[in-house]
Amino acid sequence: MSETGDADQTNVIEGTEGGPENLSEIDPDTESDVERAARRTPPGKPLRVRDLRKEFGGLTAVDGVSFDIEEGSLTGLIGPNGAGKSTTFDCITGVHRPTGGSVHLRDEEITGLRPHRIANRGLVRTFQITRELTEMTVLENMLLAPRGQRGESLWRSVLPGARGGVRTQERELRDRAWETLERFEIDHLAEEYAGNLSGGQRKLLEMARALLTDPDVVLLDEPLAGVNPTLERKLLAQVHELREEGYTFLLVEHDMDVIMEHCERVIVMHQGRVLADDDPETVRADERVIDAYLGANV
């Protein structure tokens, strides 16, 4: 069965789909096995992006982006407005089907797969809590693992009809939901409607939901927007702790101080391309980066 063939059996929880372009996978290309092997991720680099492109009509939003992400790292992805950061995230996570290039997660090519398929393989991103989800409690948000997360397959396996151990799996899912809420110190809010949470608490919930399914690689999309300094410290401390446990993070964040202080590596995008990819100090001193930011409406 194709990767997209059974997608409709699941409920759409969030608007992560990029439209008709997601409905099919990228056509198999004609490259040789040797070329294909060269694009796979080497050991210690769970995510490899090669020559990624995305065009919207006549506009090239992502123009040949390549990078590898190190295991257990916190890498920042920055760039002025319109640089192509979100589109890159969307192409990696299957929200958009790339126009060209490839994405590998460990040994597997995930280019053009639908978001939940990619999540099932261990790459997730944080999603904003949508309006429907604000009308559910925090715990319900956790248990209703959103489309595009590994929990979906876990949840499906506890539905009637699944073979054996249904209660055990359901209990495990609940236990993990509680543990994750405790980890982010929002377990006391479990019965609260998500809509009643503060901006910062919602960000913690978004992160908890992404982490619920124990992913390998987590893409954080502006996790600190609207977060007060106390919660910001808490969130960043969690990210560092999780990193030490082996999770790998790629972070899009507009707060440059956070990026420079917390990431060991920074990828700078400008006009759809990678302008610099280095440690924070080197990036900060890079004339091309300074020019790109000075010339842009950041």
Ligand X SMILES: Nc1ncnc2c1ncn2[C@@H]1O[C@H](COP(=O)(O)OP(=O)(O)OP(=O)(O)O)[C@@H](O)[C@H]1O
Residues interacting with ligand X, by CB under 6 A?
Answer: 56, 59, 61, 79, 81-87
First to last CA, the chain: 45
Residue 144: its H or E element: none
**Closest CB 36 distance from ligand X, rounded Å:** 28
**Closest CB 205 distance from ligand X, rounded Å:** 22
Residue 148 or 151 with smaller CB distance to ligand X: 148
C-alpha distances in angstroms, 236 versus 78, 127, 148? 17, 17, 23
**Closest CB 35 distance from ligand X, rounded Å:** 28
**Closest CB 85 distance from ligand X, rounded Å:** 4
Closest CA to 76 of 205, 208, 269: 269
- d(CA 75, CA 89) in angstroms, rounded, equals 13
Q: Is residue 53 a contact partner of residue 63, using CB atoms and an 8 Å limit?
A: yes
Closest CA to 147 of 14, 19, 23: 14
CB-based burial, 201-217: b 16+ in 10 Å, e otherwise: bbbbbbbbbbbbbebbb
Q: Which residues contact 87 (CB under 8 A, 6 or more apart)?
A: 54, 61, 62, 96, 272
**Closest CB 56 distance from ligand X, rounded Å:** 3
Residue 86 or 134 with smaller CB distance to ligand X: 86
Residue 65 or 118 with smaller CB distance to ligand X: 65
C-alpha distances in angstroms, 211 versus 128, 273, 277? 14, 29, 27
Residue 152 or 253 with smaller CB distance to ligand X: 253
- d(CA 255, CA 270) in angstroms, rounded, equals 17
**Closest CB 61 distance from ligand X, rounded Å:** 3
Residue 152 or 206 with smaller CB distance to ligand X: 206
Residue 220 or 242 with smaller CB distance to ligand X: 220
